[in-house]
Structure formats: structure tokens, C-alpha cells
Amino acid sequence: MILITGATGNLGKATVEFLLRKIPAASVAVLARHPEKLAEIKALGVDVRQGDYTNPASLVAAFKGIEKLFLISSSDLADRSTQHINVVNAAKQSGVKHIVFTSFQRKRETDSPIQMLAQSYIDTEKHIKASGLTYTILKNGLYADVLPMFLGEKVLETGIFYPAGTTKSAYTVRRDMAEAAANVLADTGHENKEYIFATEENVSFDDIAAILSSITGKHVGNINPTKEIFIETLSKAGAPQESVGMAVGFAEAIRLGEFASGKTDLENILGKKPTPLKEFLRNIYSN
Ligand SMILES: NC(=O)c1ccc[n+]([C@@H]2O[C@H](COP(=O)([O-])OP(=O)(O)OC[C@H]3O[C@@H](n4cnc5c(N)ncnc54)[C@H](OP(=O)(O)O)[C@@H]3O)[C@@H](O)[C@H]2O)c1
């Protein structure tokens, strides 16, 4: 039986959807902090189990009889390494054979502008490898799905105001990564492998401005402010310091090329071309 964690979230829900196209619901279980959120999935015959990454006993109970576990990284920023390590330890204790983990694509292991986030992935990968469990590490690219957050609600009127410079990144659509993860879970041959799930298409914010212009038929500029002006402008507008810090961290990581992709395994595991960024953005910005 395969268990997917984070099944109330975007990636988990989509992975379950793709997995059910490949294997029967009776072979699929999911983990949720609040199982009542998953009534629809339960009605399909999926085994919905309660568990919380912060509660090791709940995880050991939930992982009974599971052979393959898909650990979706926690959305908690503060204590992520501990939560993931709890999951890996519980998997080992419960007799799970194979763990598949959503890590993230990166260039540097230290001194990243988003080291606070990156470190939890690095710690988890190390812990998984040291556990002796069979593993598959999915190094997921930067979600195209977070772009609207970087672009802001009024991007079509104001242009792009984000200090990421002109460096290109491989923005990768979350549903593609979910489908690829479902393929890894359902098939064999992925034991002790690490895959980069990113697109070959690399774009800068100038390119994104051009894509938005072409989708909407009106000029969308790319202001590309300095980090200092960005911080000052958002702070004056009353944005919370934590959000501004996170936005600047990602902009800096993009500027340094952390998410630029060369070789990627996504197309091979998907068995088709990943969604082009223009197609993804058209669905959001064409109305
Ligand atoms: N590569 C990227 O660009 C990128 C961007 C965004 C996020 N991420 C990472 O990818 C993950 C999946 O993305 P997503 O879009 O699916 O995120 P999401 O919609 O926020 O889903 C996160 C999932 O994690 C679960 N979760 C959080 N804390 C938990 C805990 N203590 N115990 C058990 N489950 C817990 C949530 O459950 P509840 O419903 O109970 O909260 C939810 O199901 C995120 O959690 C984040 O780590 C990566």
C-alpha cells in the first residue's frame, strides 16, 4: 500500500488524483491532520489516516502496513526539519520500505538567500539516506504556481515590481510535478534515485513581462527595482516584514540562479513535455 502525506494540500491532492488513474483506490492511503477534510477522497475508497508531523506516535500508527510513503514537505517554516525527521523515523519504525520525498532544486547547499527553507530539505535528505530506507528524492523546481504571488494582484496595470534581476529560472507547474510523483509511486525502477523535476524552459522576469503582454494584448513592463527600493515600497504599503523578507529572499535566490535548470528528469518521468509557462500563465491572466 502507498501512503501520501499532505493530502489536504495542493500537491498531495493532485498526486492522489493522478495515482488513482494508475492503481486501485484500495492500494492508496493518505495522511491528514484533519481527516474530515478528505471526505471526497475517502468516498473513492482511499484509506484516510490521521497523523501530524509533530506527533511521532500518530505517525507510527498511521504508517502500519504501508510499503511506500510519499512525504510531502511540511508547509510549516519554523520547525520543518524536526517534522520531516519524525516522519522518516516513524516510517522506519512502522516497517515502510521505500520513502519518496519532495525536496527542492537548488545550486548551493550553504549560504543560500533562502537557507532557512533550504536547510530543512538538506537535513531531511541526509536523514533519509542515513536511515537505510530505500529512497527517491524529487528535487522539485520553483513552482510556477507561486509566480502570481511574486507578481502581485495589480501586475497587469502596474507592471512587474520584483527585484529578481535578469537571471532565468525554470518555473515548474505543480500539477506536472504531482503527475510525475504519481508515476514514481506507481512504477518500479526509481529505487535510490534522485530526480530534478524542473522544466528545460528557463525564463527571466523580462521574459515573463513579454509573455503577459502577449497573453493580454497590452504592454506589461518589468520595473526590476533594487532590493532596497522594493523593501521600502512594500514596507510603506504596510506589508508584513516576514512576507517582505521571504519575497526578497526568493528574489535574491532567483537572481543568483538557484532555480536555473540544465538537466531535468521531469519530461522523462512524465512521458511528455511539461506544461509551457505561457500556457500556465494564460489560464490565470487571459480573462
Ligand atoms: N518548490 C516550491 O516552489 C514550493 C512552493 C510552495 C510550497 N512548497 C513546498 O511543497 C509542499 C507542498 O506544496 P503545496 O502547494 O501542496 O502546499 P500546501 O497546499 O500548503 O499543503 C501543505 C500540506 O502539508 C500539510 N501539513 C502541514 N503541516 C503538517 C503537519 N504538522 N502534519 C501533517 N501534515 C502537515 C498540510 O496539512 P493541513 O491541511 O492540515 O494544513 C497540507 O496538506 C509545501 O508544504 C512546501 O513545503 C514548495
Q: What CATH number is associated with residue 90?
A: 3.40.50.720
In ligand 1, which atom is closest to the CA atom of 142? 3
Residue 237 is assigned to a structural domain of this protein? no
Residue 230 is assigned to a structural domain of this protein? no
Residue 210 is assigned to a structural domain of this protein? no
Query: Grid coordinates representing 263?
Result: 538537466
Residue 218 is assigned to a structural domain of this protein? no
Cross-strand pairs, 195: 138
In ligand 1, which atom is closest to the CA atom of 53? 32
Q: Is the pLDDT of residue 5 over 90?
A: yes
Residue of 147, 143, 140, 152 lying closest to 282 (CA atoms): 147
Residue 281 is assigned to a structural domain of this protein? no
For the whole model, what pTM was predicted? 0.96
Residue 249 is assigned to a structural domain of this protein? no
What letter represents residue 156's amino acid?
L
Residue 254 is assigned to a structural domain of this protein? no
Burial class (CB in 10 A: 0-12, 13-18, 19+), 72: buried
Give the model confidence (pLDDT) of 103-112 as tens digits. 999 999 999 9
Q: Count of alpha carbons within 13 Å of 260, Cβ hemisphere only?
A: 14
Q: How many domains does the chain have?
A: 1
Q: Is the pLDDT of residue 262 over 90?
A: no
In ligand 1, which atom is closest to the CA atom of 8? 43
Ligand 1 interacting residues, C-beta cut-off 6 A? 5-6, 8-12, 33-34, 52-54, 72-76, 83, 102, 104, 140, 142-143, 146
Residue of 79, 85, 117 lying closest to 101 (CA atoms): 85
CA–CA separation, 168 and 175 (whole Å)? 21
102 contacts: CB under 8 Å, gap ≥ 6: 11, 70, 71, 72, 73, 138, 140, 177, 181
Per-residue pLDDT, 126: 98
Distances in Å between the Cα of 223 and the Cα atoms of 24, 165, 172, 216 are: 50, 10, 23, 18
Residue 120 is assigned to a structural domain of this protein? yes
Q: What is the mean pLDDT of residues 73-84?
A: 94
The domain in which residue 114 lies consists of: 2-140+173-199+262-274
267 in Cβ contact with 149 (< 8 Å):
no
The preferred substitution site among 18, 72, 119 for testing ligand 1, maximizing ligand atoms within 8 Å of CB, is 72
Q: What is the mean pLDDT of residues 9-35?
A: 98
150 in Cβ contact with 247 (< 8 Å):
yes
Give the model confidence (pLDDT) of 137-179 as tens digits. 999 999 999 999 999 999 999 999 999 999 999 999 999 999 9
2 contacts: CB under 8 Å, gap ≥ 6: 19, 23, 27, 28, 29, 66, 67, 68, 69, 70, 185, 186
